[in-house]
């Protein structure tokens, strides 16, 4: 299916997100290109999309599988005029954005996994990588990278992630128009970004917790060789997960979350 970037540009002329759209057949990584453009003063809302990535990047230095013509790989430049310490809810707002969009195609089993993996029926359907640059303790810019598995079939995934990843096509049994998903994503990101800018942190946390369905569950969080265990009590103001364990309440700032097997 052709990806018509001009159609996308015309649609987003009046918004923040998608004000400028750069489309490439292949990039190493849309996050790396967006970072480069942001350093050259690309305006807020600039979106970089690629049909394929040769070095798609995931969280914790992982690789993001990015074959051509099947999925969405995009990165957005945000320039909120806020202290860097206040930006930590943005990744969660992006998770909520994507979860709502995925729910439009396949409702019911969409779940957020801290900080912002989007799962469908326990399998990963979208990953989000946010990268921030600061200037004197304020946000200079934030790159929000979103990878959504759209038309991958089971055999398109490398064997190692075949059982743990999924796509919209696998779940709906229909081929999905990537442009349609991109438009819904931009519209919803615009909405949640504006909620964030107008002081809607509580709404973001509430919606995130709704999709995560994790409060009261015992989890373990693995970060390198460190393991934290406890029962989730919620999110703090900065979006860190709060765990109640034997030594009291601790903040989870990074790592992979697993529901503890009893």
Site residues (vs ligand BTN, CB under 6 A): 29-31, 53, 56-59, 62, 64, 73-75, 117, 127-129, 145-147
Which residue of this chain has its Cβ atom nearest to ligand BTN in the complex?
127
Query: What is 61-128 written as a DSSP string?
Result: G-B----TTTSEEEEEEE---SBGGGGTTHHHHHHHHHHHHHHHHS-S-EEEETTTEEEETTEEEEEE
Q: Quick count: other Cβ atoms within 10 Å of Cβ 187?
A: 16
Q: How far is CA 68 from CA 49, 186, 205, 206, in A?
A: 12, 21, 35, 36
Q: Measured from the CB atom, is 62 or 154 closer to ligand BTN?
A: 62
Strand-by-strand arrangement of the 72-78 sheet: 21-27, 47-53, 72-78, 138-148, 123-135, 117-120, 110-113
How near is the Cβ of 127 to ligand BTN at its closest, in Å? 2
Q: Which is nearer to ligand BTN, 29 or 166 (CB)?
A: 29
**Nearest approach, Cβ of 242 to ligand BTN (angstroms)?**
22
Minimum Å gap between C-beta 64 and ligand BTN is 4
Give 18 or 147: the residue with its C-beta nearer to ligand BTN.
147
Query: Of 88 and 230, which CB lies nearer to ligand BTN in the complex structure?
Result: 88
Q: Are 27 and 147 in contact (CB under 8 A)?
A: no
| Residue (55 or 237) nearer to ligand BTN, CB | 55
- In angstroms, give the least distance from the CB of 75 to ligand BTN: 5
Q: How far apart are CA 231 and CA 248, in angstroms?
A: 10
Name the minimum Å distance from CB 165 to ligand BTN: 10
Whichever of 70 and 128 has its CB closer to ligand BTN, that residue is 128
Min separation Cβ 89 and ligand BTN, Å: 18
Q: How far, in Å, CA of 105 to CA of 102, rounded?
A: 5
204 neighbors 96 (Cβ within 8 angstroms): yes
80/45 Cα distance (integer angstroms):
11
Nearer to ligand BTN, 53 or 151 (CB): 53
**Nearest distance from C-beta of residue 112 to ligand BTN, angstroms:** 12
For the record, the structure tokens of 169 come out as 């096509």
């Amino acid at each position: 299916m052709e990806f018509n970037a001009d159609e996308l540009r015309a649609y987003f002329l009046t918004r923040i997100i998608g004000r400028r759209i750069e489309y490439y057949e292949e990039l190493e990584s849309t996050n790396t290109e967006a970072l480069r453009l942001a350093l050259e003063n690309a305006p807020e809302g600039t979106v970089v999309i690629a049909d394929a990535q040769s070095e798609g990047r995931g969280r914790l230095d992982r690789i993001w599988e990015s074959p051509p013509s099947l999925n969405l790989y995009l990165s957005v430049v945000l320039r909120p005029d806020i202290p860097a310490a206040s930006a930590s809810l943005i990744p969660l707002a992006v998770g909520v954005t994507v979860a709502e969009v995925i729910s439009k195609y396949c409702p019911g089993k969409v779940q957020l996994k801290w900080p912002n993996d989007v799962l469908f029926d326990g399998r990963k359907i979208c990953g989000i990588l946010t990268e921030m640059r600061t200037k004197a303790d304020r946000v200079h810019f934030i790159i929000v990278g979103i990878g959504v598995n759209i038309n991958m079939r089971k055999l398109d995934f490398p064997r190692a992630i075949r059982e743990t990843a999924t796509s919209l096509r696998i779940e709906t049994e229909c081929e999905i128009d990537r442009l349609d998903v991109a438009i819904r994503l931009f519209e919803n990101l615009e909405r949640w970004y504006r909620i964030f800018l107008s002081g809607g942190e509580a709404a973001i946390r509430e919606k995130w917790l709704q999709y995560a369905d994790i409060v009261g569950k015992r989890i373990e969080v693995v970060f390198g060789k460190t393991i934290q265990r406890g029962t989730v009590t919620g999110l703090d103001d900065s979006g860190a997960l709060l765990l109640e364990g034997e030594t009291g309440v601790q903040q989870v700032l990074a790592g992979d979350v697993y529901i503890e097997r009893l």
